Structure formats: structure tokens, C-alpha cells
Amino acid sequence: MIARAFAFCLLLGALPAVSQEATPPDNPDAKPADPVGPAFRGETDVAPTSTITFKFEDARQQPARYQIVLHANGVGHFNSQVGPAQPTDIAQLPPENQDRDIIVADKTRASIFLVARKEHGFAIKCESGGNKIAFQGTKTVSYDGPDAHGTCSFNYSSDAKLQWLVAEMEGIATTLEEGRRLTMEHVHGRLTLDAELGNLETLVKEGQATEIENIAPVLQAIIVDENVITRARRRAQALLDTAPLLPAPK
């Protein structure tokens, strides 16, 4: 997303065309419902050596590719690489690679690993769109653990659990990109911070930016900076208040 292009194009993708193989949802912009709920309670045990990897690739986007590696304790790593596409960024912020550690709240982590379990460690056929579905980026999901190993790639899947997993991973990527932008704007362009924070508020409200705890440092830096306008500081505080309190990694 990077910026608006990343936030909206990457997360929403091109609208899928109707085909006989897959029926797009009535509202393709809506975040898929969490498929992991009361029916899966009691199934949260995950081997501590288990790992899930999510990769996204689309040369039309910025970044053109990124990867999220998530371990069973909720600790992970994010790596992104910019591509040749020209950014449509009204703030004129240059795209940059990212390579950083992340952490995922326990509830989200449990749901992600339960999806992997329900999907047989991703040793399945994921693609269900066919060539009549518009290209939305190649997604690859992998699981590596003592109980299973698997990987599959797809452009579009009608599987609700995979749709939810993609939305969660893209939401993390969006949050990290917004954090990168806020960091640059805080240093080089404080006048755009309020609009950027307003954009992030919308993304969080719509479920398109998740795991805000990963950008807590930049939000805190904005909150305590008296050179930033009051409304922006209040927005940063409200966003920080949505972040869960995370225990130390086990």
C-alpha cells in the first residue's frame, strides 16, 4: 500500500470477475470473518517449533514483494522489497525496503496457527479462481512443524479460512508500511502527520491494518512531541490505545 496505493490496492486487490469456478463475495472490500471461533476452542496447542510463512508478490505494487515469518510464540519477522512500479504517493515519500522483527498478539497467533491446522499444514490445493479471476497478487502460504509440512500458492481462493489469513497478513503489512511512513513524516514533514494518522485510523476501523503494537514506538514519539499539532497527537494516542498489552515472548 505503499501509502495509499499499498493500503488500498494491495489489501483490496482488483475486483474478481464472475466465473463458474469461484463466486466473488457480495462486498469484496469487506474483511473476511474470523473463521476461528468457539467451534475451535481447546485446539490452541501448537508445537513451539512450528512456523508459518506468508509471501506476497505483485510487481505492480509497492512493495512488489514481502514475506512474514511467524513462529508459534507470536514472534516473527517482516521483510519487504520495493519494485519498479512508480508510487502514486501524494506525499512524495520514497518507497523503501523493510527488514524488521514483529510480534503478533496471542489471539491472532492462535487463529493463524489453527487455520494452518485446519488446512492440513497447507499441503492442499489453494487456487480456486481460474484464469477468469483478475490477478490480485500471488500469495504463498507455508507451514513447517513436527506435525505437518506444506506449501501452496494462489491468486484467488474461495476458502474462507485462507481469505481470512490473507487479510490478517496483509493487515500486518499495511500497519508496518504506515509505521514507516509515519516515521519519515515525523522527521521530514510533520504537516502531513495528521492526514496520515487519519488514514491509518480508517484502515484500523475497517480491519485493514492490524497488530498496531508493532508501530507503538513511532506513535509514542508523536504523542510526546509538542511540535506536532494536538489533533495528530490525540489521533496517535487513540491508535496506541487500541494496541494489546503483550506479554514477554516465551
Q: What is the 3-state secondary structure (H, E, C) of 217-248?
A: HHHHHHHCCCCCCHHHHHHHHHHHHCCCCCCC
Backbone torsions φ then ψ of 24, nearest 5 degrees: -65, 155
Backbone torsions φ then ψ of 224, nearest 5 degrees: -90, 0
d(CA 157, CA 163): 7
Q: Identify the pLDDT of residue 77.
A: 98
Neighbours of 150 (CB within 10 A): 16
pLDDT in tens, 95-104: 899 999 999 9
Sheet holding 98-103, edge to edge: 98-103, 75-81, 65-71, 51-57, 138-144, 149-154
Residue with cell 494536538: 230
Span between the terminal Cα atoms of the chain, in Å = 32
Q: Identify the pLDDT of residue 209.
A: 96
Contact yes or no for 101/121 (Cβ under 8 A)? no
pLDDT in tens, 35-45: 665 444 445 57
Q: pTM to 2 decimals? A: 0.81
Q: Compute the average pLDDT of residues 172-197.
A: 93
Is 142 a residue whose pLDDT tops 80? yes
d(CA 196, CA 4): 10
Q: Compute the average pLDDT of residues 176-186.
A: 95
> 5 versus 188: which is more confidently predicted?
188
Q: Identify the pLDDT of residue 27.
A: 54
Residue with cell 473463521: 35
Give the distance, in angstroms, between the CA of residue 176 and the centroid of all CA atoms in the same chain. 8
pLDDT in tens, 201-245: 999 999 999 999 999 999 999 999 999 999 999 999 999 998 876
Spatial CA neighbour of 66 closest among 153, 152, 173: 173
- The domain spans of the chain are 4-10+48-241
Packing angle of the helix pair 160-188, 106-118 (nearest 10 deg)? 140
Contact yes or no for 63/81 (Cβ under 8 A)? yes
